[in-house]
Amino acid sequence: MDRNVRVPNESLKHLALKEEPRFLSLILKSKDKFIDTYDFGIKPGSDGHFWCKDANLLYSIAYEYFKKYGTLLTRTGLDSIVDTIMLGGKKVQEEHKTSVRVYWDKICAINVSDEDYPMLKDHINERYVQWQAYEFYKKNLTGIVGATRGQIELVKEAKNELLAIDGLEPDNYSKTLSMIEALDEVESYIAERRATKEDLQRVPTYIKGIDKVFNGFEKGSYTVVAGLINGGKTTLMMNIGFQMALKGHHVVYVSLEKKALLLFIRLVCLYAEVDYNRLKIGGSDSDGIDDYHYDKLLDAVRELRGIVPNFHCIQKPQGTSLSNILSDVNRIEAKNPIDVLIVDYLGVIGNETVHVGRSDLDDWKTSSRLQAFGKIKNYVTITGSQLKTQSAKEVRNKAKKAATADVDVDISPEDLAGSKMIIGDADNGLGCALNYDSPPTKMYVYSMKARDDASRVQIELDFDGRLGRVCDPQFAVGQVTNVDDIVYNDEITEAELNEISIFDSKEPDLLSNVGENKQEDVDIIKKNDIIDSQPQESSIPKEKDDIFGDLF
Amino acid sequence: MNKTLDEKLILARKVQMAKAMLQRADEAGIPKEYRSIGPDKLKTILCNRYHKDIEGLVQKIYTEPNFLISKKVIAIDGGNLLQRKRAGFALLFRIITFDNVALYKDFNETTETLKQFNSVESAEIMNSMKKADHLFIGELRTHVLQAPPKSIAMLWDSIFEKRYDTEKTTIVSFSSPLPSSSHNIICDDTCGNFFPFIYNNDVNKELNVFRLRVKS
């Protein structure tokens, strides 16, 4: 097909021939504009936006170049890659290699005002939509005209096909709503919310302590998890993502620090409740993967195969540009709609803008793009961010004292490395810190964007670094007396505790009497939905004299 | 008896917490033999000189030890050295099990270190004692503070004053019984800005000083 006659309209053809070179001239000289074009969804290729063959070829090369390197194509760059670059699985034909160089030189000589950019972009998209509609009508009109039965079905299919035209709503997020239009939607929403507690527009984390404060994360929302280096950010995000996937949401986890396979190994260990260190040590000895733990791990793999949690992991090296990352996300989305996108983490994404002396603005730009992407795609987007070095010491000290009622691990936007606008723009901000035990046993999560006293809370969670698990506390503050039967037991030494493996098939003799007589405590712990800072009265037997009867 | 998976998970968490507590006790310097002093043992150690209801007090210490943290000073006297130590460690360990971080220092050893004036070690010890959230100083001998060099008493005084000003809990055991009247054993300008506070504090009010006496 001669691209220039996509639609039999001479005026349109002339307009395309005039406007496409001008548009390319603008975007190939400005990285911001190119990124905007890229994010907008202007496509290369034979089914793409461009009508002119030369314009299409040059744009396709620049597009692939940007995807690969995260930078704008230059004239010298074009010379270097034109022989090797693959477009749609094919190399550039010999006869086109020279013509594309000549075309580049021609369009770069064109002077176009920056003010024309939005208009040119719109026109290119409109012609693209028009062409698709023309193809649609060409294909369907005869069928509709000639149909003698099943016309309604035919028209319904046609309608769906028409509405699915690409670029018809390139940005399905932006809109203007009048009060009268909005009131109808608000009324439906109120009725919907009244009918059921389950809000399909929100995705819970399935960690009750967090969900109690945030009520899950709204689709389209952007959440930043801030913490110290090795402060549990990845573990928290991994746990949240995994729980969401187990409950049926499609989660994509972008890992810029760890390999994808390692993440999945950690998830299997988490699911199997097996210490990951056993895999690190290896072998089949008692400290490695002995028969018991091997069976547990294989059982976990088998069970997960049965459930098939909807969880993808994209593995990228540090410094990968956001465009590169989002391109892979789009590829996954095309096969299976995504609900949750987790990017671990902001600080190691390669910035695509350069503000000299202001790297915080570059970080903010990256975060803004990620936020906008998630909003348009209606994902729950979660990412991590580190704290400033100066703030780290203070946060560590607060975490040390966090167990006392008066001290909160209060992480504020000013503590963030990079721009505090990252949190400023985010919908939710979670500050997290581990306690001072070695190894840590608790994680404190603090809402950094508390809007009212009810959400200005510190959430205490259990943390187990060996399993990679973050979960609701099994013991509320004040129920620590449940550990008395171990701590005050003369016969149990710390060395012996270190050697114990609870999940061994052979129950450790030392602990055979521990916990047996506290069934009511076990029941209370299992039923515990509310995390309370007050001691649970019901965990203490009513008769004072019996309170320590089992211990001593 | 075989446990269900739920029970095993709960037990695993208990073991993890217990290890953390024992680790904190190690870091605090609590000797192993002083860690398992439970309420029954503590009841036999304490005498009712300051508190009539020893049983109620012990129950409160073991179920709500955070009330101890609200006291600036916990003063232990009476009995013998071993009993006082046991009482002090019982309180300190209980505070630790409720997710607090603490420190124990022996008075004699620390005094010897402080005598190395301007040494790095003495500065470090002073800092650690001033900053520790909850500190137990075992067996404070007032006659040592009265003997020369007076600067030692001043150093100790600065530690106690700092802790008092920053509202950190200090457990102190005294070799001599504390008088219930306002009779100052130490009250001169070498040391004593802090100690009269303890001695003069009304035992009945217990606003800031919590007193315990152990049996002989």
B16, B35, B40 ranked by CB distance to A464: nearest = B16
Q: Which of B4, B6, B10 is the best substitution to test chain A (most A C-beta atoms within 10 A)?
A: B10
Question: Helices marked H in A109-166 — which ranges?
Answer: 117-146, 151-163
The rounded distance, in Å, linking the Cα atoms of A405 and A294 is: 42
Contacts of B22 (CB under 8 A, 6+ apart): A487, A494, A497, B35
Q: What is the pLDDT of residue A517?
A: 38
**What are the average pLDDT values for consecutive 10-residue runs of chain A, which has 552 residues?**
68 90 93 84 88 92 85 90 85 87 90 91 91 88 87 82 70 70 84 81 90 90 90 93 93 93 92 88 87 88 84 91 86 87 92 75 88 91 83 66 57 67 87 81 82 70 88 66 77 71 52 50 44 32 31 26
Report the pLDDT value the prediction gives residue A192, as an integer from 0 to 100: 84
Query: In this predicted model, what pLDDT tens digit does every residue of B48-84 receive, in sequence order?
Result: 888 888 899 998 888 888 788 888 888 888 888 888 9
**Better pLDDT: B144 or A3:** B144
A273 vs B: CB within 8 A: yes
Record the tokens describing residue B73, joined without a space: 């000073």
Which residue does chain B place closest to A504, by CA atoms?
Answer: B8
Terminal-to-terminal C-alpha distance of chain A: 90
Copy the structure tokens of residue A205.
């984390």
For A275-287, give one letter per residue: b (16+ CB within 10 A) or e: bbebbeeeeeeee
Give me the residue from B19, B36, B69 closest to A488, CB to CB: B36
In this prediction the pTM is: 0.62
Report which of A112, A8, A26 is spatially closest to residue A62, judged by C-alpha positions.
A26
- What is the structure's pLDDT at A549? 29
Spatial CA neighbour of B211 closest among B100, B104, B84: B84
Contact criterion met (CB < 8 Å) for A404 and B66: yes
* Cβ–Cβ gap A480/B62 under 8 Å: no
The reply to whether A85 touches chain B by the CB within 8 Å rule is no
Residue A384 main-chain phi, psi, to 5 deg? -115, 155
Amino acid of residue A530: I
- What's the pLDDT at A83? 87
Q: Is the ipTM of this complex over 0.90?
A: no
In whole angstroms, give the CA distance from residue A248 to residue A309: 7
Who has greater pLDDT, A366 or B196? A366
Write out chain A residues lying below 8 Å of B98, CB-based.
403, 480
- For position B182, what pLDDT does the model report? 38
Task: Quote the pLDDT of residue A419.
Answer: 67
Residue-level pLDDT at B163 = 86
In this complex, is the C-beta atom of A538 within 8 Å of any C-beta atom belonging to chain B? no
Residue A421 CB neighbour total at 10 angstroms: 17
At A481 the pLDDT is 66
Look at residue A59 in the predicted model and tell me its pLDDT.
Answer: 95
Residue A279 carries which side chain, given as an amino acid letter? L
Banded pLDDT at B216 (limits 50, 70, 90): confident
User: In this complex, do A483 and B97 lie within 8 Å of one another by their Cβ atoms?
Assistant: yes
Which of A31-35, A408-412, B118-122, B203-207: highest mean pLDDT? A31-35
